[in-house]
Amino acid sequence: MILVVGLGNPGREHAQNRHNVGFMAVDELARRVGAEPFRDRFSGAWAKAEIAGEPAFLLEPRTYMNASGESVQPAMAFFKIAPSELVVVHDELDLPFGEVRLKHGGGHAGHNGLRSILERVGTGDFGRVRVGIGRPPPGFQGEVASFVLSGFAPDERAALPDLVKKAGDSILDIARRGFAAAMKDCNTRRPKEPPYASNSVPGCAWPLLVCTDSAPPRVLSPNTGFEPEMSETVEIADSGIRSQFTVSPKDSLTRTPST
């Protein structure tokens, strides 16, 4: 048995905030495993599911982030969940956007949602799925709190579905193989891909966000390419630096090794 808790703030005004990536991950997990509809209880919304052949419960506290423990602890008591069976999905400033890492035990590291859970549950001996949102970029006007309560940048929004899926994959792996095995694989540092460049924009690093007038933003990654249907302006987002150029149907934008 497992209780998966996604952290966030309630309300439409917070739905797309960085701080709500835990809610996003649990929503996507519920869809993937065919969970029952969410119901109101425990000062939150919860759903029953089956993951890896075992019963599981999904919970999104509606108490606001700083009081998440007021939802988590009653749910744990009702479902008889031990701390070792609790998995909390939360945003992580100390990981770059796009990375997911697992951690078992420890403190709250300044995260107020974790702080509240530790206080109410009485221990930090539970699992965490840390979803990287990165630190505020240079020149960001405001405090860290303002950053986590703001929306994702356009290039991040395009990559957000993959990040949420990655978090869900980690939860499924925890349920199937146990936290220790899943954490070992998830946290193993893999060699970075060699630098790549566009044959249209030499020197750009990949993957890149491609924006055109005729289609939604998309991310080019290994073995993918972009072939325009008409002459149009293409905007490339490369590590926050954007450049524009015009392509026509005879051109293609593909990933090729740098020389």
pLDDT tens digit string along 176-185? 999 999 999 9
Active site members = 19
Under 8 Å CB-to-CB from 36, ≥6 apart: which residues? 47, 48, 49
d(C-alpha 214, C-alpha 211), whole Å: 9
User: pTM, whole model, 2 decimals?
Assistant: 0.73
User: Which two tokens mark 157?
Assistant: 């929004």
Domains of the chain by residue range: 2-187, 196-257
Which residue spans within 106-247 are E strands per DSSP?
A: 127-132, 196-198, 208-212, 218-220, 225-226, 232-238, 241-247
**Sites in the chain below the pLDDT cut of 50:** 193-208, 212-214, 220-232, 237-259
* SS3 per residue for 16-65: CEHHHHHHHHHHHHHHHHCCCCCEEECCEEEEEEEECCEEEEEEEECCCH
Dump pLDDT digits (tens) for 21-74: 999 999 999 999 999 999 999 999 999 999 999 999 999 999 999 999 999 999
Cα-Cα-Cα-Cα dihedral sign, residues 198, 134, 127, 25: negative
Superfamily assignment of 2-187 in CATH?
Answer: Peptidyl-tRNA hydrolase (3.40.50.1470)
